[in-house]
Amino acid sequence: MILIMYLVFINVVTLLLYGLDKWKAKHGRFRIPEKVLLLFAVIGGAIGAFFGMYFFRHKIRKNKFRLTVPILFLIEALLIVFCLYQNHHIVVTTYSEENSRLPDGMDGFRIVQISDLHNQFFGFHEKHLLNRIKQCDPDFEIFPALSEGVHRKGRTTMVISRGMGNSIIPIRINNYPEIVVVELKKDG
């Protein structure tokens, strides 16, 4: 969500820069260097640059703008679509754990654990996320508060790894938010 807010801000600034440079050109004032206009397109303002070019009829004859800005516009538009998709794509993984020592009252008990939310936005009051959790029909929900590292409580030691992520590049970015459902069953 922070990326989307940044892109909105930088595109508005870029659009205004293109308009200001056009105004300066018409009035014989000191101009904004082309490198600066292109730099703002490269750092995320390509949509603002594209609309600034055509709305203000500015830099549309210059090849470096006619070629570069539409390509950057396409890349940025795809990035925005991808980010918005990420915010609504929640992976639900279900496991069934069978145990003969499970008390009768726990047979069919469903535990739901949420992870990798990373400050994402799931609609007004997180409605999309809460609906997905409700669909899992949980008896108990876990929202982990522990971060990576070694955590000890009594005789129990738990190690939480930051993992490698599930992105194309093997680093911890682009992790889909995940709901893990564990259903306990009495082994029979």
**pLDDT for the residue numbered 31:** 93
Residue 71 contacts by C-beta under 8 Å, 6 or more apart in sequence?
Answer: none
Rounded to two decimals, the pTM is 0.58
DSSP type of residue 180? E
pLDDT in tens, 23-39: 999 999 999 999 999 99
The domain locations on the chain are 2-86, 90-186
pLDDT tens across 132-186, in order? 888 888 887 776 665 555 666 676 565 555 544 444 544 455 566 777 888 888 8
* Cβ 69 vs Cβ 37: under 8 Å: no
Q: In the structure encoding, which two tokens stand for residue 126, read together?
A: 């997180």
In the chain, which residue ranges form alpha helices assigned H by DSSP?
2-26, 34-40, 46-55, 63-88, 127-135
